[in-house]
Every structure is written in structure tokens, then in C-alpha cells.
Amino acid sequence: MEFGPILRSLLRNKTGALLIALQIMVTLTVIVNAIYIIQERSQHMTKPSGLDEANITHILSIGYGESFNAEATTDNDLRVLRGMTGVADATVINAIPVSSSGSSNGYMVEPGRLELAVMAAQYRSDDHAISTMGLELIAGENFSPNEIVRHEPGTARTDTSVIVTRAMAEALYPDDAAETTIGRIFYAADDTALQIKGIVERLQVPWPSADFAENSVIYPEIELDGGNYYLVRHEPGYRDENLPRVEETLAAQNDTRVLRENQTFEQTRTITFIPDNAMTSILSIVVSILMFITGLGIVGLAVFTINRRRRQIGTRRALGAGHIQILRYFLVENFVISTVGVIFGAIMTVALNMFLVNNFDLAPLQWYFVPAGMAVLLVLGQLAVVGPAWRASRMSPATATRNI
């Protein structure tokens, strides 16, 4: 190997090489962080909600006018929905998981210790919640029908039992297995006492990128504020056919309300992730363009230096270099340049990530992203240079003696 001479030769002739190293540094910095963000986004997008997503639809009912009776409407709507053919179960709820709108609260194991609060989404629903969403009850029991409270807006809430997710139980009682926390009492920010009656394996909050993505508390409560989300789980195969029928059926019951958002859970997901999908696409394009430009830059520098060194290459061939040695010369040279680029790039990558972590809602990069990115750019460099280097290695040794 002629590593030493290649390095010394580069050091005496650094402008072009430095520019390429700089380009590789910037590319590494941007693409590793971009791919990390893409990866993080797609994790949010593919995270399971805990719901039987394929069979679920929801619709929003908003009552208006003097004659609207929230309680009677709710009871009637639920009865009608549950009676529809192809409907497995239906429930009323204050917010839809993964929809990006809902309400959250702080909870603590000792009353008033707000600094210890665990954030969680609050879902208010009835004893059909678990069955309708298709949640998996891993400990304790479901609500019984007579536990369900009708809550008038503006009135104080009372102590109650609740169903929490495994993640919530573990967040409240980090030292204990979730299943052992049945019967324990914790507190909401307004100091109402909440006793754990059941635990479900998973139920996502409405905000997929929240850092408490699976901390959910289900209250046995129907809010009589006029606005109801109805969640409907259809028998397999009935969803699409039932979707318009849900709206028609509810519309026929009552003309003192409007119906909105009649959509499948899949549509809800799509709408929620429009910005993430857009960001992912833009970042993917940026990554591709940067890789392409860097590849072109490397090819350009290689072609330029090879043309400038035709005489030298011919001389090397005359002095005994075979094709392989010439090819290797340029591969090694590119490797040296790229190595400088990726080393500084690695430092810049971590620096940019720290900046993003400090200024935006982003978790720190996993360490292996950095070496993986370095490897990718080193390979890109070799691939970009192999064409020009190959042509250089095919140059006739007679080039040494001719004035071309």
C-alpha cells in the first residue's frame, strides 16, 4: 500500500480535497439527522394504538338548540348504534385516540405533589369502552353499568374508580409490576381520589408524539356537554358498508344536532399524520439530493484530478504500476478524503442532534446512527470514484512520453 505518499501528496494539494471533505461532512451531518427524524416520525406513525383499528369508525355529534337533551340523545344514540346489523359494539367517548385532539391531566400518587405528576390522557366513556375499542384487559375488571356517572358540565367531580393502561400503572408505581397495582389509589390534579379497577395492555393518547404516548386513564363517566364522539366497532367486513349507515341512522334519530367526522380509524390516522408524512417526504428528498450532489462532487473531483494527472498516471504505469495499483491509488485517495469528511461529519452530526434535542421536541440520536452514516458515505465515496479510477487505470503507459 502507498498510504503514506498518498496522504503526503494530498496534504500538499488540499483545496479540492478539503472542499469534498467539507461536503461529505455537511452531508453526513444532515442525512444522519434527517434519517433519524424520518425514523422517529415513522415510529410514531406505526406505533400500535391498542385499538382494533381495522374495524373501528367514529362520528362526532354536536347538539344545539333549546330542545336538545344531551342525556336522552346519548342513551338513544347508543341503543340505536348497538342495535345496527354488523355492529359489534359502540360507546360514547370524549376524545379519539391518535386524533390529535383530547385532554390530558397530571396525576400523582400523593395528593398535592404536583411536582411528581405523571401526565396522562383522560378518556371519559362507559362500560362498553373496552369492548368497543377492542382493548386487552390484563388485570382487574371492567366497569359495571351502574358505576357510570352522568356528569353535568360545571359540577365538581367525585372520587371514582378508573381503568388505566399498563404504561400508566408503571409510570405511577415504577417499582411494581402493573398487575399488582389493582386497588391502589392515586390522585388527579384537583385532588379527587382515583382507584385502579382495571388495567389494559395498551391505549394510545390522542397525541402520537407525546412523550407519555401510552399513559391513559379511562373514567366511568358520560359527559353531558352536548358534544359526543361515538366509537363504533363493526363486525369484520362490515365497516365500509356500515360507515354511511351510521350517519344516516343517527341523523334520522334527531334533528337538533349536527354530525361530523364520520370516518374510519384509518382515515383518522392518515389525517393526523399529514404533517409527519410531508416532513418525511421532504427530508427523504433532501437526503437523496444531498447524497446525489455529494456523489457528483466526488466524481467531479476525481475526473478533474485524474485529467490533471494524466502524465503522472502514465509515468506510474511506465514505472511498473499495473491497472490494479492505479485503481487502488484513487480508491485509497478517496478513502482518505472521505475519512476526514466523515470524522468531522460525525462530530457535527452529534452537535446538530444536541441542538435539535435542546431546541425541539426530539430525543437524542441512538449512537449507531453515526457509524452507520459514516459507513454509508465511505461506500458512496468509493462507488463514486470507482468509475473515473477505472478509466484512469486503463490509461496507456505511453501517456508518460506523449504530450497529450
Which distant-in-sequence residues (6+ apart) come within 8 Å of 4 by Cβ?
none
Residues 325-364, mask of contacts with other proteins (x by CB under 8 A): x---------------------------------------
Tell me the three state secondary structure of residue 378.
helix
Q: Is 312 in the site for other proteins (CB under 8 A)?
A: yes
- As a whole number of angstroms, the distance between CA 234 and CA 249 comes to 15
Q: Is 311 in the site for other proteins (CB under 8 A)?
A: yes
Angle between helices 3-11 and 14-46 (to 10 degrees): 100
Specify the residue, 358 or 403, whose C-beta has the smaller distance to other proteins.
403
What DSSP string describes 333-370?
Answer: HHHHHHHHHHHHHHHHHHHHHHHHHHHSS-PPPPTTHH
Q: Is 7 in the site for other proteins (CB under 8 A)?
A: no
Among 51, 321, 370, 395, which residue interacts with other proteins (rule: CB under 8 A)?
321
Cβ distance 341 to 20 under 8 Å? yes
Number of C-alpha atoms within 13 angstroms, CB side, residue 40?
20
Dihedral sign (CA 247, 250, 254, 258)? negative
Specify the residue, 233 or 317, whose C-beta has the smaller distance to other proteins.
317
Specify the residue, 150 or 402, whose C-beta has the smaller distance to other proteins.
402
Reading the block at residue 57, the C-alpha cell is 369508525
- As a whole number of angstroms, the distance between CA 115 and CA 122 comes to 19
Specify the residue, 117 or 400, whose C-beta has the smaller distance to other proteins.
400
Q: Is 5 in the site for other proteins (CB under 8 A)?
A: yes
Q: Is 12 in the site for other proteins (CB under 8 A)?
A: yes
Q: How far is the CB of 364 from other proteins (least distance, A)?
A: 42
Buried b (16+ CB within 10 A) or exposed e, 197-207: bbbbbbbbbbb
Specify the residue, 12 or 368, whose C-beta has the smaller distance to other proteins.
12
Q: Is 305 in the site for other proteins (CB under 8 A)?
A: no
The 10 Å Cβ neighbour count of residue 269 is: 18
Q: How far is the CB of 319 from other proteins (least distance, A)?
A: 4
Residues 137-176, mask of contacts with other proteins (x by CB under 8 A): ----------------------------------------
Q: Which residues in this chain contact other proteins in the complex, by CB under 8 A?
A: 2, 4-5, 8-10, 12-13, 311-312, 314-323, 325, 396-398, 400-402
